Amino acid sequence: MKKARIRNVLVGVLGALVVYPAVAQGHTGTWYPNKWVTDRGAVDWAFTPGFPTGEYRDRVFDAAAQWNAVGTPMRFTKVANYGTNFDPGVCPSSYQKNGVHWRDLTGAYGQMSPCTQSGNLYSTQITFDSGGQDWYTGTGDANDGFLNQCVPSCQIDFWSIATHEFGHATGFGPNNTYEGHFNPNESPTCDKNEDMNTMCQYYDVGTERWRTPATHDRHTFQAAYP
């Protein structure tokens, strides 16, 4: 995955490590071609073996909680850690479980791999890159270099990336020639400002804008799960 110096192409990839822009379609459920069956109750998830402890896990909890706080029938619930690691690319997983994985993604920050059956989500696998990213795992300000020019370096806000990936795990995914992201050229939805939506294509390194779903994120999610 190719990354720009300042504004890095992100993640949030569904299946293969390829990122596509997405066209804004208003606050409709069409961003959700496959959804969870909400009468089944909460969507369980757990860490797989090898996932780092401490602040890494804390930020994953924070990310799932952000979507739960939006208020829809679709909710994430943490269960006991999975005792067995499994391939996030296998569909359907014989475990029928939603895992949060820690693996080398060859430069991408994160990835969500969905598995669908009969038009509904069957399982989702979120993977974060273990390959040497300069992750910031705290709750304060990530290092943004000098005036966000990444000099000498910028950190990648783990909480922001986790919230983005859990957004995909709600079912926010491909529905047309674009793949699961708001249009990066649409203003103000994906503008470089404090209101930048979590489900945009590009993450600005050194920023924390994606930690909390913004207005367009929330309304799109609520339209899918009224």
Q: What is the pLDDT of residues 170-196, one digit of tens each?
A: 999 865 445 678 877 776 778 776 678
Distance of alpha carbon 35 from alpha carbon 169, whole angstroms: 9
- From residue 129, alpha-carbon distances to 45, 102, 162, 199 in Å are 18, 6, 11, 19
pLDDT of residue 187: 66
pLDDT surpassing 70 at residue 51: yes
pLDDT confidence tier of residue 131, bands split at 50, 70 and 90: very high
> Mean pLDDT throughout 140-153?
80
Q: Spell out the domain ranges in the chain.
A: 7-224
> Mean pLDDT throughout 194-223?
89
pLDDT of residue 191: 75
Q: What is the pLDDT of residues 12-38, one digit of tens each?
A: 333 322 222 223 334 555 688 889 987
Segment of 103-107, 112-116, 121-125, 156-160 carrying the highest mean pLDDT: 156-160
CA angle 40, 45, 48 (to 5 degrees): 150
pLDDT surpassing 90 at residue 151: no
pLDDT of residue 28: 53
Do the beta carbons of residue 157 and residue 207 sit within 8 Å? yes
| Nearest partner of 178 among 199, 160, 195, judged by Cα | 199
Distance of alpha carbon 226 from alpha carbon 223, whole angstroms: 6
pLDDT surpassing 60 at residue 208: yes
- Give the residue, 189 or 117, on which the prediction is more confident: 117
pLDDT of residue 188: 73
Q: Which of 12-21, 84-93, 104-113, 148-157 has the lowest mean pLDDT?
A: 12-21
pLDDT of residue 25: 37
Q: What is the pLDDT of residues 53-96, one digit of tens each?
A: 999 999 999 999 999 999 999 999 999 999 988 898 889 888 88
CATH superfamily of 7-224: Collagenase (Catalytic Domain) (3.40.390.10)
Do the beta carbons of residue 148 and residue 65 sit within 8 Å? no
